[in-house]
């Protein structure tokens, strides 16, 4: 069961989300002001360019011309994740930080869709022929990757804990069986065996008494 951290404030997650939105919108503003007139600017020729693109689809240019669909999906996802953060930020701080990155990126792209009818993309990796993307896409990807890594590590920890628990149970079971084996010979002695041992003891006692009586008569 997760314990609550009383020192964590919801303000931290609001600050993370706000910082993501600010960075995303600021870089897009620069792209509109300086890249739109020139189209593209090479940082490293044929490797990394800054290219102005108006994306009407989803992240990384997928499914173009589906603005309203993505606005609805994004709105529902953003609200759901925000509610989760509000409810769980003290119990799951790491997960909520990851989700704050995702929410910030989602809101950043949502602002573009509402304001312009498209999303401004400008990061262009030409070496691998990758789709042009923006800061919001990067934050969404980083937050999602951090979540995947977290759950992967937690799964490994759970598996190791189960194996360790199973090994401990096997050791305890072996010890119990050893105790049972040691106690079995005494427990398995039957009533007839006990009576036989008692009878032999009595017979030995009677013989001893008779011998003592005989010896006394001879002396007289």
Q: Kindly list the catalytic residues.
A: 121, 137
Numbers of helices and strands, H then E, in the chain: 5, 3
Residue 127 vs residues 48, 53, 54: alpha-carbon distances, Å: 7, 18, 21
Tally of CA atoms within 13 A in the half-sphere of 146 that contains its CB: 16
Beta-bridge mates of residue 119: 55
Helix (H) or strand (E) holding 105: helix 93-116
The burial class, CB within 10 Å (0-12 / 13-18 / 19+), for 126 is: middle
Q: Decide: helix, strand or coil at residue 56.
A: coil
Q: Do residues 69 and 61 touch, judged by C-beta distance below 8 A? A: no
SS3 138: helix
The first and second tokens of residue 179, run together, are: 């105790």
- Are the beta carbons of 133 and 49 closer than 8 angstroms? no
């Amino acid at each position: 069961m997760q314990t609550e951290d009383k020192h964590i404030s919801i303000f931290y997650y609001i600050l993370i989300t706000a910082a993501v939105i600010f960075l995303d919108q600021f870089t897009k503003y620069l792209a509109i002001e300086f890249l739109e007139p020139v189209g593209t600017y090479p940082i490293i020729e044929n490797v990394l360019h800054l290219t102005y693109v108006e994306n009407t689809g989803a992240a990384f240019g997928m499914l173009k011309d589906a603005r309203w669909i993505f606005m609805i999906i994004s709105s529902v996802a953003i609200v759901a994740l925000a509610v989760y953060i509000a409810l769980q930020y003290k119990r799951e701080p790491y997960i909520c930080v990851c989700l704050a990155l995702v929410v910030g990126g989602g809101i950043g792209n949502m602002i573009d869709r509402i304001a312009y009818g498209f999303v401004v993309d400008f990061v262009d990796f030409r070496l691998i022929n990758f789709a042009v993307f923006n800061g919001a896409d990067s934050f969404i990807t980083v937050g999602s990757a951090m979540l995947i890594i977290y759950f992967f590590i937690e799964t490994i920890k759970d598996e190791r804990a189960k194996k360790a628990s199973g090994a401990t149970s096997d050791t305890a079971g072996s010890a119990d069986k050893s105790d049972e084996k040691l106690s079995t010979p005494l427990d398995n002695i039957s009533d007839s065996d006990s009576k036989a041992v008692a009878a032999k003891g009595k017979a030995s006692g009677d013989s001893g008494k008779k011998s003592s009586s005989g010896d006394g008569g001879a002396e007289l």
